[in-house]
Amino acid sequence: MTHKTIQRHITQSLRSLLAFTIALGLVYPLVTTGLAAIIAPSQRAGSLVLAPCPAEGTCPPEIERAVGSSLVGQLFDAPHYFWGRPSATAKPYDGMGASGSNLGPSNPALHEAVAARVAALGPTSSKVPIDLVTTSASGLDPHISPAAALFQVPRVAATRGLTKERLETLVKEHVEPRLFGLFGERVVNVLALNMALDALAPQADSGRR
């Protein structure tokens, strides 16, 4: 191979490197980001859920603030709120540490964790929905099944001073259908449900934990 041939190959390689760097490192990200802003602006911004600042807050009530994401769960463990699916992350619903529990059905640790979660739900004569006592694959699931939401109605109704019938109606109003009516299961977004609950019957203690 001659010196000119080697030089030609190197030149072609550098040109290809430059072309692909510009196309894939600059043009492609800009195009996809721009399309995302047009097609799915909410998802592009993290699917943030906004709400007015509270009257006693540090910002004016007319200014909206982010209270969570519709795609990432958050911890609700106060009795006057609906609780979400347990998180498998060390810090509950930590997006930087998303992972499943990786515990098989025969693992004693899984049985102990489920038993503890059942006990935390308190005495009940109803069958506990499985998604209230087991974690999801990501550990960040923001949804629960309609059955899991309805299971919690007696507790929330008692602490909020609402009738069970009114809360059951609220839950049913927040059931999200299957995708295109075919894919997945019907679910309830816990954050959206709790925000509607606060609007329906505000608590003196507005803390969520």
What pLDDT, on the 0 to 100 scale, is given for residue 31? Answer: 87
Q: Which tokens in the block code for residue 16? A: 């290809």
Higher pLDDT pick, 79 / 97: 79
Q: Which of 137, 143, 155, 2 is nearest to 77 (CA)?
A: 155
- Whether residue 176 contacts residue 188, with contact meaning beta carbons closer than 8 Å, is answered with yes
Determine the residue type at 189.
N
What pLDDT, on the 0 to 100 scale, is given for residue 201? Answer: 81
Helix (H, G, I), strand (E, B) or coil at 49: strand
What pLDDT, on the 0 to 100 scale, is given for residue 92? Answer: 76
Q: Is the pLDDT of residue 141 over 90?
A: no
Confidence of residue 106 (pLDDT cuts 50, 70, 90): confident
Contact partners, residue 33, CB within 8 Å, separation at least 6:
44
Contact partners, residue 87, CB within 8 Å, separation at least 6:
73, 75, 93, 94, 135, 139, 140
Q: Is the pLDDT of residue 1 over 80?
A: no
* Domain ranges within the chain, ordered by starting residue: 3-41, 46-200
Q: Is the pLDDT of residue 3 over 60?
A: yes
Q: Sign of the CA dihedral 55, 58, 62, 64?
A: negative
Least confident of 69-83, 90-104, 183-197: 90-104
